[in-house]
A = this chain, B = another copy of it.
Amino acid sequence: MDDLIRRVVQEQMPETLGMLREYCSKPSVAAKGEGIEEAAGLVRQFFEDLGASPKILRLEGAHPVVYAEFPGASQKTLLFYNHYDVQPPEPLEEWASPPFELVERDGRLFARGVADNKGDLVSRLAAIKALLTTHGQLPCRVKFLVEGEEEIGSVSFPRYIHEYRDLFMADACIWEYGERDHKERFHIVAGVKGICYVQLEIQNLRTDLHSSLGAILEGAPMRLVWALAGLKGQDGRINVPGFYDRVKKPGDAELEAAKAIPFDEEEIKQYVGARSFIGGKQGFDALYDLLFSPTCTICGLEGGYTGPGSKTVLPRKAMAKVDFRLVPDQDPEEIADLLRRHLDAQGFSDITVTLMGGEKAYRTDLRHPFVRLVMDVAREVTGREVVLYPNSAGTGPMHPVGMALGVPIVSIGCGYWDSRVHAPNEHIRRKDLEETILLMARLIERFAV
C-alpha cells in the first residue's frame, strides 16, 4: 500500500476523531425522532467541508436522506450506503459513560452509534480526505447515500430509491458496516436478511382491576403471553402457518461460502453466556440457521405493574414488540398478514398487530468480480484472513438498492466482534477505524482501474 496515503491517514487521525466526536454527539434516535435534522445537517456539513455539493433529499413524512457526489478521474462510480440514525441508548444505567459523548478508553471509542454506523461513514470520509490531500482528486466517481431510518426498518427508503434512482446510479456499492471477529479475521458481507417488525397490543378490560377478579376475568398480559408462546416452539420452529412457504434455500455459491466460514461456536456461547443454541443445534446446522433461517424474537414486553415490590393488579393492557428476520423470498407484509390470520385462528382476535417496519432480504451474486476485488483489497490492507459471508444475520435496505440499481453490494466497516451494536457501551477500536480508512482509500484506488 501507498506509504504516502498511510502517513496522511495517520496525520489526519486527530481531525478524524474530532469529526467522529461531533457526529456521535447528535443523538439521532430514529425510533424517537430525536435529533434527526441536526444529524442530517451535520452530515451535509461534512461533505461540504470535503468540497462536495451535498443535497438533503426530502419526502413527506420521512427522515431526510443526505446525498453527495465527488467527481473522479475515471468514469466508474462507487456508491456508499450509510445511515446517520442510531438505536435508542436505553438502558441508560448500563452505560459506563454518557451514550452521546465519544469517550476513548484503552484504545476503544465508546458512543451510541459509533459502530452502527457513524464510525463507518467517518472512515469513508477520512479516506476521501486522504486521497484528495494526496492526489488532489479522486481516481473514480464516488457517491454517498446517507439515510435516517435504518434503525426503524428504512420505512421510507424504498420511496427515496424510487424517486432518485437516476441520481444514485453506480457500478458497485459498498454497504454500511463490517467487523473483525474474535480471531481478528476480517468479514465481508454480501447480503442481508429481511425483517418484519410488529407490535402486538391487547386491551381486553375497561380498566385495571383488583387481581382477585382474576378468578373469573383474564388479564391482558396472560392472553398476550399465550399468543406469544404459540408463535414459536422451543426448537425454534415458527408456528405461523405459511411462514416458510416462500423460503428459498441457499444456492451452491452461498452454501460453498458458508461452509468456508469458521464458526467458533463454543467461543460464541461462552461470550454471550448461553449454554446452547436454539434447538440444541451445533456446528454447520447452527451456522445455517444464523445465515439462512428466518427468526422470531420478542424484542420488548410490557404489561401491568413492573415497579419494586408487589402490586396485586389485573392489568387491562399489554404490549409486545416482535421481530421476524426474513430470508429470500419472504415478504414482510405477507408475514404480517399470516401472523394476523394465525392469531385469529388461535382465538386472539383481541390482539392488534401493527407492522412497524418491513424489509426484504437480499443477496449479491457471489460470482461478481466486485466481490473478489473487495476480498483482495481487504487481504492486502489487513494482511489477515478474510471471511466472506453470503449474507448477514442482520437486516438492511439492500433489497431496494440492489434491485433498483442492479449493482453488486458488499459490506465492510470498522466494527469488531465485541462492538455491542444495539446494546449499552457500543464501541469500536481506534486501530480498526484507522485500518478501515486505509482499506477504503485503497479500495477506491483499485476500483477506479
Contacts and interface: CB of A to CB of B under 8 A. Distances in A.
A31 B308 contact: yes
Interface of A is mostly: mixed
A366 to B, nearest CB: 20
Nearest to A221: B298
Contacts of A314: 297, 299
A236 B218 CA distance: 8
Interface stretch (A15-23, A52-60, A388-396): A388-396
B312 A210 contact: no
A315 interface: yes
A398 interface: no
Interface string A25-61: 0000011100000000000000000000000000000
A314 B90 CA distance: 13
Interface stretch (A67-75, A98-106, A418-426): A418-426
A309 interface: yes
B208 A307 contact: no
Contacts of A278: 215-218
A189 to B, nearest CB: 11
Interface in A262-284: 268, 271-274, 277-278, 281
Contact of A213 (B272, B303, B306): B272
Which residue, A31, A298, A303, A304, has most C-beta atoms of chain B within 10 A? Answer: A298
A319 interface: yes
A321 interface: yes
Contacts of A236: 218
A274 B392 CA distance: 45
Interface string A284-325: 001001100101111111111111111111110011110101
B206 A323 contact: no
Contact of A277 (B217, B296, B325): B217
A347 B205 CA distance: 33
7 contacts: A31-B309, A151-B310, A213-B290, A216-B268, A217-B278, A218-B234, A225-B298
